[in-house]
Amino acid sequence: MEAAQERLKASEEAVNGHEARIAGVVAQLESEQKEVERLEKQLKESTSVHKTTLESLTTAQKALERERTELLSELNALKEADSLRKNKEGNEQNKALEARLLEQTREVDNARRILKESEELRLQLEERQARIQELEHQALEAESQRRALHNQIQELRGNVRVFCRVRPTENEPAVKCAPDGSSLNLTRADGKENAAFEFDRVFDPSSKQDEIFEEVSQLVQSALDGYKVCLFSYGQTGSGKTHTMLGEGNGDMQGIIPRSVAKIVEASEKNAHKGWKYTMHASYVEIYNEQVRDLLKPGSSHSDKHSIVHKNGVTEVSGVQREHIDSVESAAALVRRASAARVVEATNMNAQSSRSHTIFMLYIVGEHASSGSEMTGCLNLVDLAGSERVGRSGAEGKRLKEACAINKSLSSLGDVFSALAAKQAHVPYRNSKLTYLLQPCLGGDGKTLMFVNINPETASAEETMCSLKFAAQVNAVQLGDGKGAQRRITTKMSAKSEDAADEKKEKPRKEKESGERKRKAISSSEPRKK
């Protein structure tokens, strides 16, 4: 029983246990049921929410679609509008372009027309320029013909030619040069009386050294043709005598002396092919207080020991150096040496006033082997001392003596010229060293040219008047009884060469012995024209 009881108890306990488990399961079921219900409710709720959401979404989608359609159509409309606008703008641009094109075409046409017109003008201008050139050429030719004829007349008359050179000044000038190139007008200091002068040439202050040389180069070259040529530079101190004769440096400012020597050396080289062989010698002397000094001998002083000798038509100063010249360089070196040796002293007029005359002498001997002709020419280039009167230059003591000597030789030169002008039987060449030295050039068969240099300043007007009067007197002088200049050529046989051909018309003049050869002296009475 007990066992049964026990079994019962166990069963009861088991039942209780089961019942408890069932109660638990039921409770669990109930809670699960509740959960299911909650979930169902929730689902239901969320479904309805979803449904609403879906509905609203669908509505929204529909709305969006509508909107899209609307936007699309709007876009299309806009696109259409845009393309329309663009077209319109394009048209406007086109129009503007067309307008510009039209304008440009017009401009191009205009430019073409102008170009054509200017081309026509250019052609006209060219034609006129050519005509002007032609006329200028003719005028130049006429002028050079006139000059050549004038020179010929002067030579026929045997006149001493005079060129006037007016130096530049910064002040108001008292001298006015006429455009004809041969006359000038001087206003005197008191302003009352004007004086007009005419010379063979008047060089105004703008004239350059090369223009001056251009005018005298033919004359210089005559020395090569057998003439005795003399060029003077006259004027008061500071008027440009040395500037004209010697100039400065080795370039454009070179004066007549260095240019002449170079020209003669070059010309002699050119003549060599015609069969002429030249030898040249130069001396350079200074005459100061009637004494001669050799400028080519360094350290030499003025002395009486040098005497002037005229021998066989050639003038020499005894005891002075004669240097052989064979090139332009050797000649230039000689000129430089001589100009450094010059006596230069100060006076009130010009700190570098030269109180002496300098004479550059070039002796030229030309030999023509095949014809046996010999020709002797000489070139004297003279830079005279200042022509001013003593009172004005303020010279005193020793310098007064110098000024007197200078004036003496200048007045002797004037006397020689007036005796020649008056065709006096006696010409006082021997009154001064200067005139005696230059006698062969002045005395008949030479060619003489004088440069009268003037300072155009009002303060110098009186001196200028004196210079111009002196020059006018010189201009009237006839050399060699109007026979004109004579060439000095001797020949031993009858002429065959071209040089001798010019001499056909020449008549015998004098006999000359030279070494073992006896030559027949012939000289031309014709004026030279080349």
Give Cα separations from 322 to 303, 317, 446, 482 (angstroms): 17, 9, 22, 33
Q: Is 34 labeled as ligand-binding?
A: no
Is residue 431 a contact partner of residue 415, using CB atoms and an 8 Å limit?
yes
Is residue 354 a contact partner of residue 300, using CB atoms and an 8 Å limit?
no
Q: Is 239 labeled as ligand-binding?
A: yes
Axis-axis angle for helices 209-222, 256-271 (nearest 10): 50
Is residue 129 a contact partner of residue 205, using CB atoms and an 8 Å limit?
no
In the bound complex, which residue of the shown chain has the CB atom lying closest to ligand ADP? 240
Residue 497 binds which entry of Mg ion, ligand ADP, none, CB below 5-8 Å type-dependent:
none
Backbone angles phi, psi at 313, to 5 degrees: 75, 5
Taking the complex as a whole, the smallest distance from the CB of residue 236 to ligand ADP amounts, in Å, to 7
Is residue 256 a contact partner of residue 216, using CB atoms and an 8 Å limit?
yes
Is 183 strand, coil or helix? strand
From 17, 24, 168, 191, residue interacting with ligand ADP (rule: CB under 6 A): 168
Q: How many residues in total does the chain contain?
A: 530
Q: Which of residues 390-429 bind ligand ADP (CB under 6 A)?
A: none
Task: Closer to ligand ADP by CB, 439 or 453: give it.
Answer: 453
Task: Closer to ligand ADP by CB, 265 or 465: give it.
Answer: 465
Q: Which of residues 212-271 bind ligand ADP (CB under 6 A)?
A: 235, 237-243
Give Cα separations from 157 to 194, 378, 441 (angstroms): 30, 22, 16
Residue 235 binds which entry of ligand ADP, Mg ion, none, CB below 5-8 Å type-dependent:
ligand ADP
What gap in Å lies between CA 500 and CA 502, rounded to an integer?
A: 5
Residue 90 binds which entry of Mg ion, ligand ADP, none, CB below 5-8 Å type-dependent:
none
Is residue 160 a contact partner of residue 477, using CB atoms and an 8 Å limit?
yes
x-or-dash string of contact with ligand ADP, 427-466, rule CB under 6 A: --------------------------x-------------
Is residue 286 a contact partner of residue 342, using CB atoms and an 8 Å limit?
yes
Taking the complex as a whole, the smallest distance from the CB of residue 248 to ligand ADP amounts, in Å, to 6
Q: Which of residues 404-443 bind Mg ion (CB under 5 A)?
A: none
What gap in Å lies between CA 242 and CA 343, rounded to an integer?
A: 13
41, two tokens: 């409710």
What gap in Å lies between CA 36 and CA 23, rounded to an integer?
A: 19
Residue 453 binds which entry of Mg ion, ligand ADP, none, CB below 5-8 Å type-dependent:
ligand ADP
Residue 228 binds which entry of Mg ion, ligand ADP, none, CB below 5-8 Å type-dependent:
none
Is residue 464 a contact partner of residue 456, using CB atoms and an 8 Å limit?
yes
From 271, 339, 354, 371, residue interacting with Mg ion (rule: CB under 5 A): 354
Task: Closer to ligand ADP by CB, 132 or 344: give it.
Answer: 344
Q: To which H or E segment does residue 374 belong?
A: strand 373-383
In the bound complex, which residue of the shown chain has the CB atom lying closest to Mg ion? 242
From 187, 221, 239, 242, residue interacting with Mg ion (rule: CB under 5 A): 242
339 binds ligand ADP (CB under 6 A): no
Which region among 142-150, 238-246, 336-344, 420-428 touches Mg ion (by CB under 5 A)? Answer: 238-246
- Amino acid type, 217: S
What gap in Å lies between CA 240 and CA 71, rounded to an integer?
A: 106
Secondary structure (H, E, C), 219-288: HHHHHHHCCEEEEEEECCCCCCHHHHHCECCCCCCECHHHHHHHHHHHHHHHHHHHCEEEEEEEEEEEEE
Which region among 7-15, 98-106, 288-296, 350-358 touches Mg ion (by CB under 5 A)? Answer: 350-358
Which region among 151-159, 187-195, 221-229, 346-354 touches ligand ADP (by CB under 6 A)? Answer: 346-354
Is residue 367 a contact partner of residue 374, using CB atoms and an 8 Å limit?
yes
Taking the complex as a whole, the smallest distance from the CB of residue 451 to Mg ion amounts, in Å, to 12
Q: Is 240 labeled as ligand-binding?
A: yes
Task: Closer to Mg ion by CB, 233 or 439: give it.
Answer: 233
- DSSP 8-state secondary structure symbol assigned to residue 525: -
∠ at Cα 258 (441, 217), nearest 5°? Answer: 55
Whose CA is closest to 166, among 174, 158, 156?
174
Residue 239 binds which entry of ligand ADP, Mg ion, none, CB below 5-8 Å type-dependent:
ligand ADP
Q: Is 47 labeled as ligand-binding?
A: no
Taking the complex as a whole, the smallest distance from the CB of residue 301 to ligand ADP amounts, in Å, to 22
Q: Is 247 labeled as ligand-binding?
A: no
Q: Which of residues 487-516 bind ligand ADP (CB under 6 A)?
A: none
Q: Which of residues 266-325 bind ligand ADP (CB under 6 A)?
A: none
Residue 154 binds which entry of ligand ADP, Mg ion, none, CB below 5-8 Å type-dependent:
none
Taking the complex as a whole, the smallest distance from the CB of residue 255 to ligand ADP amounts, in Å, to 8
Whose CA is closest to 261, among 348, 361, 165, 331?
331
Number of chain positions touching ligand ADP (CB under 6 A): 16
Task: Please state the residue numbers annotated as binding site.
Answer: 235-242
Please report, as ranges, the residues that interact with Mg ion according to CB under 5 A.
241-242, 354
Q: Which residues are annotated as a binding site for ATP?
A: 235-242
Residues contributing to the site for ligand ADP (CB under 6 A): 167-168, 235, 237-243, 350, 352-354, 386, 453
